[in-house]
Structure 1
C-alpha cells in the first residue's frame, strides 16, 4: 500500500506540473502550447486521482490533485473584464465560424444566422464560392456589406466580415508576425461606430510558433491602440486563456463565452472537443446572451453573442 500511495503522489505531482504550464510564456518546447490547452483533461484525471487517493488513504496525493483542479480552473473560468455599462437599444448580434476550407454546411450556417438573427458574420477559411452560396439564400441576403476578397479555391487564408449594417473597411497596420487574413470594419450600429476585427492567427505548430505568439501579441497591441471605441474581435484565435499571449490579446476585453467557456475544437475527432479557441471578445458592448452552434463539415463550433451598444 505504501508503494501505491507513493505512485499516486508522484502522478499527482506530475499532473500539477502539467496544469501549471499555462503560466509559462514561451513557445518552446514545441509541444508546450498543446499541453497548456489540456486543462479540462487535467481536471478529469485529478478527480480520478482524488477518488483513488481516498481509497488508498494517500492524503498527500489527494491534496495535490485538489491543487491541480484549482490551478486548471484558473485558466478555464472566465471571470474578468465583464463590461460595466447600461445596455442601450442598439443591437448587434455577432457569429463567427472557422468554415474548415469552406467545407462547412452552408444551409446550417444560414439556419444559425436566422436563429440568432445575426447582424455580423465572421468566417475563417472561407472562399468566394462559399460567400456567394450564403448570399444567394434568403437569410444570407441580409449581408449587404463585406470586408473584401477571399480566395477562390480551398485555402486556410480566407477571412471575411459580412454585415447587414452599413460598414466601411478599416486599414489594419501590417505586423511582423505572419497571419491569415484578419480584416477590420467600422460597422454603423444605429449611429454608433463599432469596430469589428476578424481574427485568425497562425496555429501553434512547430513551423509557426513564433508567428502564433507574435500574432496574438500584435492583436493585443492593436486593440489597446483603439481603446475608447466599442470593439469586437472575433474568430479562430488558435488559443485560449491557457496561453499567455491570448491573455495579453484580450486584456481589457471580455470573452462573451461566459463563466465556463464551451470547448470549440476539434469537432471532427473520435474524442470530444477539449479547447475553447474560438472567441467573441468585446469592449464597450453589453452581453445579453451567447452560445455555440455545431455546424456539419466544420472542425470548429460556431460561436455567437447577442450584444447591445452601451448607453453610457
Structure 2
C-alpha cells in the first residue's frame, strides 16, 4: 500500500506541474502551448486521482490533486470583465466559424445563421466559392456588406466579415495580420458604430511559435488602442485563456462563452474537443446569450453571441 501511495503522490505532483504550465509565458519548448491547452484533461485526471487517493488513504496525493484542480480552474473559469451596462435596443448577433479551407457545410451554416438570426458572420479560412454558395441561400442573402476578397481555392489565409448592417472597411496596422487576413469593419448598428475584427493568427506549431505569440500580442495592442467604442473580436484565435499571449490579447474584454467555455477544437477526431480556441470577445456590449454550433466539414465548432448596444 505504501508503494501505491507513493505512486499516487508522484502522479499528483506531475499533474500539479502540468496544471500550472499556463502561467509559463514562453513559446519553447514547442510542445508547451499544446500542454497548456489541456487544462480540462488535467482536471479530469486529478478527479480520478482524488478517488484513488481516498480509497488508499493517500492524503498527500489527495491534497495535491485538489490544488492541481484549483490551479487549472483559474485559467479555465471565465469570470472577468463581464460588461456592466444596461442593454439598449441595438442588437448585434455575431457568429464566427473557421471554415476549414472553405469546406464547411454551407447548408448547415445557413441553418445556424437563420436559427440565431446572425447579423455579422466572421469566417477564417473562407474561400470565394464557399461565400458564393452561402450568398445563394436565403440566410446568406442577408449579408449585404463584406470586408474584402478571399482566396479562390482551398487555403487557410482568407478571413471575411459579412454584415447585414451597413459596414465600412477599417485599416489595421501592418504586422502578423498581413499573413493571415484579419480584417476590421465599422458596423452601423442603429446609428452606433461597432468595430468588428476578424481574428485568425498563426497556429502555435514549430515554425510559427514566435509569430503566434507576436500575432496575439498585436491583437491586444490593437484592441487597447481602440478603447472608447463598442468592440468585437471574433474568430479562431488558435489560443485559449491557458495561453499568456491570449490573456494579453483579451485584457479588458469579455469572452462571451460564459463562465465555463465549451471546447471548440478539434471536432473531427476520435476523441472529443478539448480546447476552446474560437471566441467572440466584446467590450461596450451587453451579452444576452451565446453558444456553439457543430458544422460538418470543419474541425472547429462555430461560436455565436447575441449582443446589445449598451444604453449607458
**TM-score of the pair, normalised by structure 1:** 0.99
The residue aligned with 2:236 is 236
Moved over 6 A (4+): none
* Separation of aligned partners in 2, 1:164 and 1:23: 40
Question: Alignment partner of 1:172: what SS?
Answer: coil
The residue aligned with 2:87 is 87
The residue aligned with 2:185 is 185
Q: How many residue pairs were aligned?
A: 312
Q: Following TM superposition, by how much is the alpha carbon of 1:138 offset from its aligned partner in structure 2, in angstroms?
A: 1.2
Q: Following TM superposition, by how much is the alpha carbon of 1:168 offset from its aligned partner in structure 2, in angstroms?
A: 0.2
The residue aligned with 1:175 is 175
* Separation of aligned partners in 1, 2:170 and 2:180: 17
Kept in 2, the 8 Å contact 1:177–1:212? The answer is no
The residue aligned with 2:217 is 217
Question: Alignment partner of 1:258: what SS?
Answer: coil
Q: Following TM superposition, by how much is the alpha carbon of 1:139 offset from its aligned partner in structure 2, in angstroms?
A: 1.4
Q: Following TM superposition, by how much is the alpha carbon of 1:24 offset from its aligned partner in structure 2, in angstroms?
A: 0.3
Backbone CA RMSD of aligned residues: 0.8
Kept in 2, the 8 Å contact 1:179–1:200? The answer is no
The residue aligned with 2:97 is 97
* Separation of aligned partners in 2, 1:63 and 1:179: 47
Q: Following TM superposition, by how much is the alpha carbon of 1:177 offset from its aligned partner in structure 2, in angstroms?
A: 7.1
Any idea what the Cα deviations from partners look like across 1:152-198, whole Å, max 9, x if unmatched? 00000010000000000000010257641100000000000000000
Structure 2 unaligned blocks of 5 or more: none
The residue aligned with 2:113 is 113
The residue aligned with 2:152 is 152
The residue aligned with 2:142 is 142
Q: Does 1:292 align with 2:292?
A: yes
The residue aligned with 1:310 is 310
Kept in 2, the 8 Å contact 1:15–1:42? The answer is yes
* Separation of aligned partners in 1, 2:110 and 2:14: 46
Q: Does 1:203 align with 2:190?
A: no
Kept in 2, the 8 Å contact 1:178–1:202? The answer is no
* Separation of aligned partners in 2, 1:177 and 1:3: 54
Kept in 2, the 8 Å contact 1:178–1:211? The answer is no
* Separation of aligned partners in 2, 1:274 and 1:304: 18
Question: Alignment partner of 1:98: what SS?
Answer: coil
* Separation of aligned partners in 2, 1:138 and 1:94: 18
Structure 1 unaligned blocks of 5 or more: none
* Separation of aligned partners in 2, 1:130 and 1:178: 22
* Separation of aligned partners in 2, 1:23 and 1:179: 28
Any idea what the Cα deviations from partners look like across 1:267-290, whole Å, max 9, x if unmatched? 010000000000000000000000
* Separation of aligned partners in 2, 1:105 and 1:77: 31
The residue aligned with 1:273 is 273
Question: Alignment partner of 1:182: what SS?
Answer: coil
The 3 A distance-change label for structure 1 pair 101 and 177 is closer
The residue aligned with 2:26 is 26
